[in-house]
Amino acid sequence: MNIAVIGTGYVGLVSGTCFAESGNEVVCVDIDRGRVDALKNGRIPIYEPGLEELVRRNLKEKRISFTTDLAAAVGQSMVSFIAVGTPMGGDGAADLSGVLAASESVARAANGYHIIAIKSTVPVGTNDRVREIMARSAGPRIDVCSVPEFLKEGSAIEDFMRPDRVVIGSTSEQATAILREIHSPFLRTDNPILVMHPRSAELTKYASNAMLAMRISFINQMANLCEAVGAEINDVRRGMGSDRRIGSQFLFPGVGYGGSCFPKDVQALIHSAAARNIDFTILRATDEVNARQKRMLVDRVREHFGGEVKDRAFAIWGLAFKPRTDDMREAPALVVIEELLRMGAKVSAHDPEAIASARNIFGGRITLHETNYDALAGADALIILTEWNEFRHPNFHRIKALLKNPVIFDGRNLYDPALMKALEFRYYSIGRQPV
């Protein structure tokens, strides 16, 4: 099938590439000519494991192409997936200007029956607004559907190719049948295609992300209570997670969640509820807990050094909001580094993939290193903010030799406190007693 994908950001690029990989002919559209030119040459603007190889293979086999010409892409396609950004506005609401503008452009360019499938994360009622735009169009019949994405950065290819479920929000039997056919190659098992009203599909995406964010904030608050009463959060977490009604996913304590989805989607759902006179108290608490959690390690650093942080040097391992990505949007590292700099400290940092992102954000205010050990030289302490695999089993003797003081603030609970005690480190983690 001929498919257009509007937007070559994270969702659009992964979606378009995976649709092409299953045999469709896909044209990906973006207004950024530099990005399009790079993609035409197989250069990927984001880090996502496996994506570059798939893009290059489908370019070679001419199943995927990239353009700035939206009209041409839509004109040769039956389905246009809209995957443009919906950033959070100043009031917490999702900015829909990109989605609405793209929809109007598709309406002008459609040639015959067409489907607009909204993959962008949008608040409830967006599908209705786009359908109103289509109703004013003098062009051919266009069905508007919602097909939300459920991709995790770092495993997006696997998530798309083997989804837990596909959600289709549609009121059109014709559009539903076509969208089912497009997605059916990815559902060879018993995992379902769930067809529902577009409003339900829109809320399903927000509800899923909000629930996961709530679990993270809950376990972080439990970790704080564990420290206060002398309990061990890993024991509590395992005891909870063994209950099949609860499960163990997203119950790992740390320095808070970040990224492009959870913070934005929690705020957008709060805003949508407030617009209908519903006080989403539990989500406001989730957001507040997360904001406090990001500052926890800074408070411990300050306490450990007796409030004397100015002119001290700190090494940071991990800048991305999670491993296997270079994404620093809303990352805890942003808060920690800004707080340390505000207090007059010096920061040297390493991340396996996010060095370029950090350089764009901080410029010369921090020192960035290509290896994790280089960041340690002369630092007063090590702070760990992202659980990259290469940080899990380091050379502790080398760490100890490079640091001024054998002190580790571990925001991801990577190490065994008993080992840290045996190696004579001062060790602070989350939800466990300090060593």
In a domain, 199, yes or no: no
* Boundary-marking domain end, from 292, 315, 330: 292
Please list the helix, strand and coil fractions of the chain in percent, rounded to the nearest 5, in that order: 45, 15, 40
The answer to whether residue 18 is catalytic is no
Residues 124, 22: one domain? yes
Residues 42, 130: one domain? yes
Parent domain of 225: 206-292
Residues of the chain with pLDDT under 70: none
What is the number of structural domains in the chain? 3
Pairing of strands 25-29, 64-67: parallel
- What CATH number corresponds to the domain at position 309? 3.40.50.720
At residue 93, the pLDDT reads: 85
The region, left, alpha or beta by phi > 0 then psi within -120 to 50, assigned to residue 85 is: beta
pLDDT digits (tens, 9 = 90+) for 68-110: 999 999 999 999 999 999 988 878 888 999 999 999 999 999 9
CB within 8 A of 423, min separation 6: which ones? Answer: 396, 397, 400, 406
At residue 336, the pLDDT reads: 98
At residue 155, the pLDDT reads: 94
Across the beta sheet with 114-118, the strand order is 64-67, 25-29, 2-6, 79-82, 114-118, 142-146, 166-169, 193-196
Residues 226, 300: one domain? no
In a domain, 257, yes or no: yes
Residues 39, 81: one domain? yes
Partnered with residue 315 across adjacent β-strands are 348, 382
* 233, 431 Cβ separation under 8 angstroms: yes
Closest CA to 17 of 148, 115, 156: 156
In a domain, 398, yes or no: yes
In a domain, 201, yes or no: no
At residue 399, the pLDDT reads: 98
Residues 405, 277: one domain? no
- What CATH number corresponds to the domain at position 268? 1.10.1040.10
Residues 186, 113: one domain? yes
Residues 417, 315: one domain? yes
Transcribe 87-98 into DSSP letters.
-B-TTS-B--HH
Residues 242, 271: one domain? yes
> 288 by DSSP, 3-state: which?
helix
Closest CA to 183 of 172, 194, 173: 194
At residue 124, the pLDDT reads: 93
At residue 367, the pLDDT reads: 98
* 435, 409 Cβ separation under 8 angstroms: no
